Amino acid sequence: MVSSTFHAEDLWKTLSRATVDKRHPWRVVVLSTSGPNGANSRNIILRAVESQRALCTFYTDLRSGKIADITHDPRVSLLFWNPRSNEQLRAWGDACVVNDPKALDLHWSRIPDYARKDYATLSAPGALLTEDQALDITSLRVESARQNFRLIQVQIQRMDYLKLDREGHQRFGLNQENDAWVFKALVP
Ligand SMILES: Cc1cc2nc3c(=O)[nH]c(=O)nc-3n(C[C@H](O)[C@H](O)[C@H](O)COP(=O)(O)O)c2cc1C
């Protein structure tokens, strides 16, 4: 992306591509929250994008720490980095936890069996792993996996795009105004 051809739509197209291309570097996103104990960042997979509503969707376990963080403060930031094209995208928005059974069922139906096990641990993610509870197949409660499954949707309100280039770095700030993305060139 160069300045004369820069369009916010291209960013959304790239994000959309990252949801289907498993090798796309923007598929793995850093999601940062601010919880009761302060800032927290973790990698998470970008699962779906709706450019019209500026929505990014992620999958997680209801019992995970990020859910408590978002409940504490819905403001989150997302960080994307593509080392091949030297493009960084930062995005800020409000996160919400989706509990709607229809939406959950739709996404759950797309998850293969082996990945559904991620939501089937007896204890919450991050809980102390005791010896009698070693993480083998017998300690998974597959039938409750669906109950633990949640979507996190982030409504993006602001973005900051940076492309590193020997010829000169380029940076744009993007804001939503009247349902359109307006961008301004910034000092990198
Ligand atoms: C490459 C990668 C992808 C990940 N994808 C997800 C994901 O899609 N959803 C998720 O909840 N955790 C994912 N994780 C695990 C999180 O980074 C994190 O360890 C876990 O969700 C617990 O975080 P929390 O305690 O802050 O909620 C991923 C980790 C890595 C390294």
Q: Using one digit for the tens of pLDDT, what is the confidence trace for 160-187?
A: 999 999 999 999 999 998 888 999 999 9
CATH number for the domain harbouring residue 52: 2.30.110.10
Q: How does DSSP classify residue 5?
A: G
Tell me whether residue 150 is in a domain.
yes
Q: Of 103, 94, 68, which Cα lies nearest the Cα of 153? A: 94
- Rounded Cα distance between 106 and 15, Å, is 21
Give the pair of three-digit tokens for residue 82: 């593509």
Which is the closest atom of ligand 1 to the Cα of 58? 8
Q: Using one digit for the tens of pLDDT, what is the confidence trace for 95-135?
A: 999 999 999 999 999 999 999 989 988 888 898 887 666 65
Give the pair of three-digit tokens for residue 160: 């900051």
Torsion-angle region of 28 (φ positive above 0: left; ψ -120 to 50: alpha; else: beta): beta
Q: Which domain holds residue 70?
A: 3-124+135-186
Q: What is the pTM of this model?
A: 0.94
- What is the tally of structural domains in the chain? 1
- Protein residue whose Cα sits closest to atom 31 of ligand 1: 43
- Protein residue whose Cα sits closest to atom 10 of ligand 1: 60
CA of residue 151 to ligand 1 center, whole Å? 13
Tell me whether residue 49 is in a domain.
yes
